[in-house]
Amino acid sequence: MKINKIDHVSINVNDLLETKAFFLDLGLEVQAEWELHGEQLDRIVGLNGVKTACVGLGMPDGQTWIELVKFYTPSDENDIQQPLANTLGIRHICFNVEDIEAVIAKLKKNGTEIFSEIEQYEESYKLCYVRGPEGIILELAEKIR
């Protein structure tokens, strides 16, 4: 048995258009968009009456992608959560970026919550945490050359 790669990371969202726009602004590209419903999807995700819209976003090099999913039915009765960096569970996605200062300035200009300063970690990376739409936490990392 062998795992070849991480294929995608799925993020459930309420506002598919806003979240898609946020990731496009970061530089990801739409790889695919689709809607799904039916008994087979119900069996796959273990729910009944599922109807979704999805957007697959990836890097220009075509590697691992992020799948944004809007569940029209059944809907989640809970409100959007605003987890902290230490909340249990899958918590953030890290993007390797060029010119972290420029990326952070652009995100600030667009109203993104920046909840840490850019910090240099040893002689390897500059790092910063931000919160995008839907409470999504991103870590931005610029490798120091």
User: Which residues in the chain land under pLDDT 50?
Assistant: none
> What's the predicted TM-score (pTM) here?
0.87
Is the domain of 97 the same as that of 54?
no
The Cα–Cα gap between 84 and 74 comes to 27
Read off the pLDDT of residues 62-98 as tens digits, 9 standing for 90 and up: 778 999 999 999 988 777 778 887 888 888 999 999 9
Is the domain of 68 the same as that of 96?
no
Is the domain of 105 the same as that of 51?
no
The Cα–Cα gap between 28 and 25 comes to 7
| Domains identified in the chain, total number | 2
The domain that holds 111 is classified in CATH as: 3.10.180.10
The Cα–Cα gap between 7 and 11 comes to 14
- 33: domain range? 8-73
